[in-house]
């Protein structure tokens, strides 16, 4: 498949006009000026007025959740069979929304790890998945009802080892309170720096990166000083947090959209104690994000997909929230492609480079000028995953092969 006449964003920069992209055998075979493809006889897609870019990567998602108003109530007593089906459906919805890779940052009883294996092995067709296994929190800490609770360095090491034994790709530590957990406050650091350091150290021994749920300065600093790879949310970042994150190259995954969705869409289903925390957090979140961005911090896109009013299939809208908070559109695109791929250790994805896997998105318009060209999936025209067609608006319906819900 040869894409001609379109703009090309390769994950890091926009290429000069007049280039074309050739996909063969599931990979990017060549990117060159159009003249290099004289005599090509395969399928050609005229991408005039459109932009070719890598498939998007969502660095913060929860496959067991589907945007329900009260996640803890929904997950109470649910069977593993139903959880598996939910994971499959949610992954399929994310792929259809242009998310070709994603990182699950907390599931239930490792069900999501088996779903990951099904996709990554090719047993089923879906997004590439990295997964953390269970949340690790202190006793009664954030998401305790589905987490592995641990107290003290020794227990922290054991909790990390359990996730590694289960097959996690990364580790998720809960450094502060969270919005959707009753009885915890956002400003409280939950794990001590000593506990965080023990957990990060054990993850490092087995070459697992570490993500920290951290809303406020005390917990952010504990996590950063312990050596985590990414701060998830970073609702309140003071100058000390920013300086130490920059010094260590910590990636911020801001997840701006969930608070916005909760505050704009609430119909009474979310408990008031959660709404009160969301209102408080939203006052600070955009400012902290912009401050880290302006300071030159590395930022990766993650939508906290699956949280209330934030179902799978809509994660690309996080890019619009980032731009609205002051990020340049081209930098937002990089956060969802090259930077995200680096964070998730996806060496063969996130960029359009010769030899890399053909995870590719074609959108109407120019997202480096108007981010809604990629944020709103109504503008998506073609999606490839591993070179296989997920969506193709250029095919006539009668020629399109029948596919099941998961594209198999």
pLDDT digits (tens, 9 = 90+) for 95-115: 999 999 999 999 999 999 999
Q: What is the pLDDT of residue 131?
A: 98
Q: What is the pLDDT of residue 77?
A: 80
Residue 398 has pLDDT above 60, yes or no: no
pLDDT digits (tens, 9 = 90+) for 156-166: 999 999 999 99
pLDDT digits (tens, 9 = 90+) for 269-313: 778 888 899 999 988 999 999 999 999 999 999 999 999 999 999
**Residue 42: which of 393, 407, 387, 401 has the closest Cα?**
387
Residue 73 has pLDDT above 90, yes or no: no
Mean pLDDT of 200-229: 98
In DSSP terms, 61 is beta-bridged to 104, 305
pLDDT digits (tens, 9 = 90+) for 351-395: 999 999 999 999 999 999 999 999 999 999 999 999 999 999 997
The pLDDT mean for the chain works out to 94
Q: Give pTM, 2 decimals.
A: 0.95
Residue 319 has pLDDT above 90, yes or no: yes
Confidence of residue 396 (pLDDT cuts 50, 70, 90): low
Q: What are the residues whose beta carbons fall under 8 Å from the beta carbon of 404, sequence distance 6 or more?
A: none
**In 199-250, which ranges are E strands?**
210-214, 230-233
Contact between 85 and 129 under an 8 Å Cβ cutoff? The reply is no
Residue 268 has pLDDT above 80, yes or no: no
Confidence of residue 267 (pLDDT cuts 50, 70, 90): low
**Residue 107: which of 140, 141, 151, 60 has the closest Cα?**
60
- Percent of the chain clearing pLDDT 70 (strictly above): 96
Domains in the chain with CATH codes: 2-54+351-399 (2.30.40.10), 56-343 (3.20.20.140)
Mean pLDDT of 324-335: 98
């Amino acid at each position: 498949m040869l894409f001609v006449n379109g703009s090309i964003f390769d994950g890091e920069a926009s290429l000069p006009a007049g280039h074309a992209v050739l996909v063969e055998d599931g990979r990017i075979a060549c990117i060159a000026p159009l003249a290099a493809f004289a005599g090509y006889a395969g399928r050609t897609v005229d991408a005039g007025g459109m932009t070719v870019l890598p498939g998007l990567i969502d660095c913060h998602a929860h496959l067991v959740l589907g945007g329900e108003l009260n996640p803890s109530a929904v997950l109470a007593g649910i069977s593993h069979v139903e959880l598996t089906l939910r994971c499959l459906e949610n992954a399929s919805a994310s792929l259809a929304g242009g998310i070709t890779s994603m990182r699950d940052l907390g599931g239930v009883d490792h069900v999501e790890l088996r779903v990951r294996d099904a996709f990554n092995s090719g047993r089923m067709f879906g997004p590439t998945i990295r997964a953390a296994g269970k949340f690790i929190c202190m006793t009664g800490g954030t998401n305790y009802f589905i987490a592995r609770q641990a107290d003290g360095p020794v227990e922290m090491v054991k909790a990390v080892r359990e996730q590694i034994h289960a097959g996690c790709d990364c580790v998720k530590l809960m450094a502060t309170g969270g919005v959707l957990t009753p009885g915890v406050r956002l400003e409280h650091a939950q794990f001590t720096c000593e506990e965080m350091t023990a957990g990060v150290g054990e993850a490092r021994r087995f070459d697992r990166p570490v993500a920290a749920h951290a809303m406020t300065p005390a917990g952010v600093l504990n996590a950063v000083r312990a050596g985590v790879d990414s701060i998830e949310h970073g609702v309140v970042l003071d100058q000390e947090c920013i300086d130490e994150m920059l010094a260590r190259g910590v990636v911020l995954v801001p997840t701006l959209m969930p608070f916005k969705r909760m505050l704009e869409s609430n119909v009474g289903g979310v408990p008031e104690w959660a709404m009160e925390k969301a209102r408080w957090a939203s006052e600070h979140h955009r400012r902290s994000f912009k401050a880290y961005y302006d300071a030159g911090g590395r930022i990766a896109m993650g939508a906290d997909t699956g949280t209330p009013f934030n179902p799978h299939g809509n994660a690309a809208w996080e890019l619009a929230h980032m731009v609205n908070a002051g990020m340049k559109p081209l930098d937002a695109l990089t956060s969802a492609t090259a930077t995200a791929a680096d964070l998730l250790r996806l060496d063969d994805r996130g960029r359009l480079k010769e030899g890399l896997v053909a995870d590719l998105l074609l959108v109407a318009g120019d997202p480096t000028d108007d981010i809604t060209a990629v944020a709103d999936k109504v503008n998506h025209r073609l999606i490839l995953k591993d070179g296989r067609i997920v969506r193709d608006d250029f095919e006539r319906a009668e020629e399109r092969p029948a596919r099941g819900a998961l594209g198999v």
